[in-house]
Amino acid sequence: MKLITAIIKPFRLEQVREALMQGGVQGMTVSEVRGFGRQRGQTEQYRGAEYDLNLVPKLKIEVVVEDADMQRIAEAIALAAQTGNPGDGKLFVTSIGQAVRIRTGELDETAL
Partner 1 sequence: MKPLFDGLRRAGVAGAVLLPAAAFAQDAAQQAAPVADKGDTAWMMVSTLLVLMMILPGLQLFYGGLVRTKNMLSVLTQIGAATCLAMLIWVVCGYSLAFGPDAPAPFTPFIAGLDRMFLAGITPASTAATFTKGVVIPEYVFICFQMTFAAITLSIVLGGIVERVKFSALMVFALVWMPIVYLPIAHMVWASSGLFFTMGALDFAGGTVVHINAGVAALVAAIVAGKRLGYMKDSMAPHSLTLTLVGTGLLWVGWFGFNAGSALEANGSAALAMINTFVATAAAGLAWLAAERLFGHKPSALGLASGIVSGLVAVTPAAGHAGPLGAILLGAVTALACYVAVAIIRPKLKYDDSLDAFGIHGVGGIVGAIGTAIVYAPALGGQGAADYDMAAQLGVQIAAVCATIAWSTVGTLIALFIARAVTGLRVTTEAEREGLDLAEHGERAYNL
Ligand X SMILES: Nc1ncnc2c1ncn2[C@@H]1O[C@H](COP(=O)(O)OP(=O)(O)O)[C@@H](O)[C@H]1O
Interface with a copy of itself includes 47 (CB under 8 A)? no
The amino acid occupying position 86 is P
Cβ 48 to partner 1 shortest distance, Å: 4
Q: Is 42 in the site for a copy of itself (CB under 8 A)?
A: no
| Nearer to ligand X among residue 16 and residue 63 (C-beta) | 63
**Cα–Cα distance between 108 and 112 in angstroms, integer?**
7
Give me the least distance between CB of 16 and ligand X, in Å please: 13
Which residue ranges make up the site for partner 1 (CB under 8 A)? 11, 14, 41-49, 51, 53
Q: DSSP letter at 25?
A: -
Q: Which residues pair with 59 in a beta bridge?
A: 8, 32
Of 46 and 95, the one with the shorter C-beta distance to partner 1 is 46
**77: three-class secondary structure by DSSP:** helix
Task: Report how far apart, in Å, the C-alpha atoms of 46 and of each of 52, 53, 100 are.
Answer: 11, 12, 48
Q: For residues 109 and 22, is the Cβ–Cβ distance under 8 A? A: no
Residues that bind ligand X (CB under 6 A): 7, 25-29, 35-39, 56, 58, 62-64, 86-90, 101, 103, 112
Give the separation between CA 91 and CA 79, rounded to whole angstroms. Answer: 11
- Residues forming the site for a copy of itself (CB under 8 A): 1-3, 6-8, 17, 26-38, 54-55, 58, 60, 64, 74, 78, 81-103, 105, 111-112
